[in-house]
Chains A and B, each alone.
Chain A
Amino acid sequence: MTLLDDFLIRAALAGIGVALAAAPLGCFVVWRRMAYFGDATAHASILGVALALSFDVSVFAGVLATALAMASTVSVLAGRGYAMDTLLGVLAHSSLAFGLVAVSFLQGVRIDLMAYLFGDILAVGRSDLAVIWSGAVLVLVLLWQRWSALLTATLNPDLAHAAGIDPRREQMVLTIALALVVAVAIKVVGVLLIAAMLLIPAAAARPFAATPERMAVIAALLGMLSAIGGLQLAFTFDTPAGPSIVCLAAGLFAASSLAGLLLQRRRS
């Protein structure tokens, strides 16, 4: 497998894997107004990194566990006194702070904190690639199987009930998918920018889509374009790869919003 020996090829494949899984999930995050939820889950995962390193388990497992714990905590606490954004703000930033403090206790292992905050896509190895693609495929299969039920529950919980769908179960499916995406994306864009990979391609796809499915497909294409183009930018201008990917995605979003406005004006 000489192809995978090239670190740029591995980086590109990692970016594509994350973009593929993040796009359809990101659409749900946008439709259900869960942007903060994604952010909170991602920020909590730095605590997972610290725990994984101190207990000597894989970072992937540590992140997955904390992301799941975080998302479930939010789901349980939601609607019990505090507004959702307050709750998420408290949990997201305090878990990030606890994570950063916990990492500082890890004297023995010198870890590169920046790598977890902003990703280290150029250091993706073959085993990382295997983890990323397994996670991405799992997320895609999960969403594919439950697509109709997820969409119905997103439209209206009572409509879902009447059709024999339990909206809480669908919420749980999205929570699990979100934890998986966070866990696989941490190496690629880092905890601070995972929400960007979820939101920006989906938001950029909106003006060009007439159905939910098309929005997910266009979001996936834009996400992959951002990943490959962002790597190219990082290579050319010697900039950090993760942020470069997000910058390109943001540029695509700006262009798409502009195009959307023009389209609307021509129609009316």
Chain B
Amino acid sequence: MSSLLSLDGLSVAHGGNTVLSSVSLSIQAGEIVTVVGPNGSGKSTLLRSVIGAQKPSRGTVTRAPGLRIGYVPQKLHIDPTLPLTVRRFLSLPVRVSDARAAEALEQAGAGNLAARQMSGLSGGQFQRVLLARALLCNPQLLILDEATQGLDQPGSAAFYQRIEKVRQELGCAVLMVSHELHVVMAASDRVICLNGHICCEGAPEHVASAPEYRALFGSGTQGALALYRHEHNHSHDHDTGHSCTHDHHHEAAE
């Protein structure tokens, strides 16, 4: 299987400061990859390189030909002087039909928001609308940059569960950045621990016990990880029929 996206020896420098050095990774169709790392570790820079907003100083970013990327930005400040309904926002920059917009909003769990003003949405609603917009292009790769900033813990856990659901419905790969390790790691197939370079990577269990990861985050998150898994399992019990891709979570918690 050829990868959707591959970075080869990517290095980025901001005015003499090296932010990323020799980062190589590739993303396969349908997998959820999470990048974790402390503040200033280059997580956002990595994503911005992937979408083409940041020029690499060395190395290459190769996208599969015609790759459709859905991008959910870190935060979006909409100036209150700009009147913008959710429906109009979805048609930027490419106009979409009402039916398509309604479908995407439904998938993102924002079904009843179309007529609302963007500036009047709550944090959680706003994130779901951003997600809906990213889903419009029927993405093969969904990119989320700290998409749950400003949401409380149940709110972000619900958001990441929605991402998993979207992944199952669309079969898209997901590349996301977060520092809410405990919430995100359990939802990931693969975790990349970043601190200017790739410290370690692999399955969530592997990374959580890796010494490089412990050195960056300590071992305190281990407990929270288990806790979240438990909750996660719990919701699986009510929602039969989509547990097949998450067998390892069941095993880990039981």
Contact = CB atoms under 8 A, between A and B. Distances in A.
A210 interface: yes
B69 interface: yes
B213 interface: no
B93 A212 contact: no
B79 A206 contact: no
B48 interface: yes
B51 A161 contact: yes
A214 B83 contact: yes
Interface stretch (B70-78, B155-163, B186-194, B200-208): B70-78
Nearest to A159: B73
Interface string B54-81: 0000000000000001010100111101
B99 interface: no
A149 B89 CA distance: 12
Interface in A187-206: 203, 206
Most buried by A among B71, B94, B95: B71
A33 B79 contact: yes
B244 interface: no
A162 interface: yes
B135 to A, nearest CB: 13
B94 A31 contact: no
A259 interface: no
Given A158-B73, A162-B71, A148 B83 contact: no
A156 B88 contact: no
B92 A155 contact: yes
Given A158-B71, A161-B53, A210 B83 contact: yes
Contact of A158 (B51, B78, B117): B51
Contacts of B79: 31-33
Contacts of B143: 162
Interface string B73-117: 100111101111100110111110000000000000000000001
Helix, strand, loop or mixed for chain A's interface?
helix
Interface string B38-59: 0000000000100111000000
Interface in A28-66: 30-33
Interface residues of A, number: 28
Given A158-B51, A162-B69, A210 B117 contact: yes
A34 B85 CA distance: 23
Given A156-B73, A158-B53, A215 B93 contact: no
A200 to B, nearest CB: 13
Most buried by A among B52, B84, B94, B95: B84
B53 A155 contact: no
A209 B81 CA distance: 10
Interface string A1-44: 00000000000000000000000000000111100000000000
Nearest to B118: A155
B136 to A, nearest CB: 10
Interface string A152-182: 1011111111111100000000000000000
Interface residues of B, number: 26
A86 interface: no
Interface string A96-140: 000000000000000000000000000000000000000000000
A236 interface: no
Contacts of A154: 82
Contacts of B71: 158-159, 162-163
A151 B93 contact: yes
A157 B93 contact: no
Nearest to A154: B82
Nearest to A203: B81
A211 interface: yes
Interface string A219-252: 0000000000000000000000000000000000
Nearest to B74: A158
Given A149-B93, A152-B93, A162 B51 contact: yes
A183 B82 CA distance: 26
Contacts of B76: 155-156, 159
9 contacts: A31-B79, A33-B79, A148-B92, A148-B95, A151-B92, A151-B93, A160-B93, A210-B83, A211-B84
Given A155-B76, A211-B84, 13 more contacts: A30-B81, A31-B82, A148-B92, A148-B95, A158-B71, A163-B71, A163-B94, A165-B93, A210-B83, A210-B85, A210-B117, A212-B84, A215-B83
Interface of B: 48, 51-53, 69, 71, 73, 76-79, 81-85, 88-89, 91-95, 117, 143, 145
Sort A-B residue pairs by CB-CB distance and give the 9 closest, nearest first.
Answer: A162-B71, A161-B53, A148-B93, A152-B93, A162-B51, A31-B82, A209-B83, A211-B88, A152-B92
Interface of A: 30-33, 148-149, 151-152, 154-165, 203, 206, 209-212, 214-215
